[in-house]
Structure formats: C-alpha cells, structure tokens
C-alpha cells in the first residue's frame, strides 16, 4: 500500500471516530451503536463515576482524585509485603519479579509440569529437588549459598532460609529505617538474580557461580542506594554504605 493511500485511510478512520464522538456527545447517550470504541469506554467510565457522585457523596465534599481512584479499585486485601516490594530502594524490574514471586506467579517447573507444559520438574540450579517456589527461595543449596553470602555481607544472621519469613526477620533485625531499606533491597535483588540465573541455566545451559551472583547483587544494591542518598541520610548511613561497598568485592 502506498504512503498516500495509507495516510488517506488513517484520516478517514480518525474522521469516523470524531464524527461518532460528536454524535454521541450530542445524543448524550452511550447506547449509540455507531459510536467509536474509545468513546464507548469513556462513557462507561463516566456512567460509573456518576454512580460514585450519587452514592459516595462526592458532590457535597471536596473532590479528590485519590479517593475516586480508591473507589474505582474497590476493596482489596492489604498485604504486609507491600512497602518492601514497592519501595524506591528496589530497582523496578527487581520489585516486579519479587511481586510475582510473592504471589506465586513465577513459572517454576513444578507449576509447568502441573499445567502439562513440560515433563521435567528438577531444579536447574542444584539438580537435587523439585523446582518449586519454596525450593528456589531458599531451600535450594545454590540459593542458600547466595543468601548466606549476602546476609554475611550485611551483617544479618540468616536462620530461616525462606522468602516469606526471611524478609520479616531482616526487618526486625535492622532497626534503622534506611539501613533496613538497603538490606531489604538486597533481598529483592537476590530474588531477581536467582530467577535470572535459573532462566540462564534453562536457556543457555550455564549455571553461574554463587559468588559471582553475590557480587552482582552487591554492585547493583550499592549503585541503587547511592542514588537514594538525600537530606534524610545521616553521616553514619553514608559511612555504612561506603563500608558495604569496600567489602562487596571480597
Ligand atoms: Zn535447587
């Protein structure tokens, strides 16, 4: 198709959308069959908000976008890990993988076997057990070595070796809020790196040494946390971060 013809078709399409939009606006109804899909969606939101104005009493009070957003979302269960996952100290991609893991949405081999996608459910990192969420984080010998290395680096005694309990234990161990955020960012980075290494083992048939994984985690955490330094940080925080940096390459 030549460029001129394509441009004309796009213009015709936009014209059709605008015409249907104007008709709907004039008609004041969402039931117009020839209205564009985008406008129908907008009208659905408008109708929903109309319900909020009537039932939630927004007309009598100061209008707040945050209140409306929460109203549209509806009731949802609060989760204790929310401040850990959606924290600025975490690199966003690491927070996302952590969020997936905490909801058991990572496609581990035990899940894939249950779904009939693959036949082999053995852990790709140690080869000694079924690869489930509980095994990867952190029943697996491989991931335990990584966790031990990082907990030693941070000066936190690790006893639980379970993603669901370790982050709570770390939170209790570290009283200072900034130091706690740094430690939990390291744990988030650990989940990401173990999942990354596991995928690398699957696709490239290569298992990276746990010491190398620990070094990557240390480097990423230090770099990220340096970006988080602001006026709330005290000298002791900066000194501690500097000491972490000097001990991360051992
Ligand atoms: Zn394993």
Task: Give me ligand 1 centre to Cα 120, in Å.
Answer: 13
C-alpha dist (Å) from residue 112 to 139, 177, 206:
19, 39, 21
Q: Is the pTM of this model over 0.95?
A: no
Task: Give Cβ neighbours of residue 35 (< 8 Å, ≥ 6 apart).
Answer: 20, 21, 23, 24, 43
Structural contact between residues 226 and 219, judged by C-beta atoms closer than 8 angstroms: no
Q: What is the pLDDT of residue 49?
A: 83
Structural contact between residues 133 and 101, judged by C-beta atoms closer than 8 angstroms: yes
- pLDDT band of residue 158 (cuts 50, 70, 90) is confident
Torsion sign across C-alpha atoms 214, 215, 218, 221: negative
Q: What is the pLDDT of residue 26?
A: 43
Task: Give me ligand 1 centre to Cα 131, in Å.
Answer: 6
Torsion sign across C-alpha atoms 122, 123, 128, 134: negative
Task: Give me ligand 1 centre to Cα 126, in Å.
Answer: 4
Task: Give me ligand 1 centre to Cα 123, in Å.
Answer: 5
Q: What is the mean pLDDT of residues 221-237?
A: 95
Q: What is the mean pLDDT of residues 205-215?
A: 95
């Amino acid at each position: 198709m030549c460029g001129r013809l394509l441009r004309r078709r796009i213009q015709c399409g936009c014209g059709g959308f605008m015409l249907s939009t104007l008709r709907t606006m004039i008609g004041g109804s969402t039931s117009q069959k020839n209205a564009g899909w985008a406008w129908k969606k907008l009208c659905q939101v408008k109708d929903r908000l109309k319900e909020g104005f009537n039932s939630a009493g927004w007309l009598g009070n100061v209008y707040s976008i945050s209140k409306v957003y929460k109203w549209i979302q509806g009731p949802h269960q609060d989760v204790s890990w929310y401040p850990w996952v959606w924290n600025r100290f975490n690199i966003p991609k690491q927070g996302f993988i952590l969020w997936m893991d905490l909801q058991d949405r990572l496609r581990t081999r035990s899940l894939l076997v249950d779904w009939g996608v693959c036949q082999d459910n053995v852990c790709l990192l140690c080869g000694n057990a079924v690869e489930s969420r509980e095994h990867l984080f952190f029943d697996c010998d491989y991931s335990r070595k990584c966790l031990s290395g990082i907990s030693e680096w941070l000066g936190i005694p690790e006893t639980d070796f379970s993603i669901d309990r370790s982050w709570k234990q770390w939170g209790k161990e570290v009283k200072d809020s900034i130091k706690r955020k740094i430690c939990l960012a390291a744990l988030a980075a650990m989940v990401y790196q173990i999942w990354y290494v596991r995928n690398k083992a699957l696709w490239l048939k290569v298992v990276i040494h746990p010491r190398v994984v620990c070094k990557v985690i240390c480097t990423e955490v230090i770099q990220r946390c340096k970006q988080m330094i602001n006026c709330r940080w005290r000298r002791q925080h900066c000194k501690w971060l500097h000491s972490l940096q000097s001990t991360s390459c051992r």
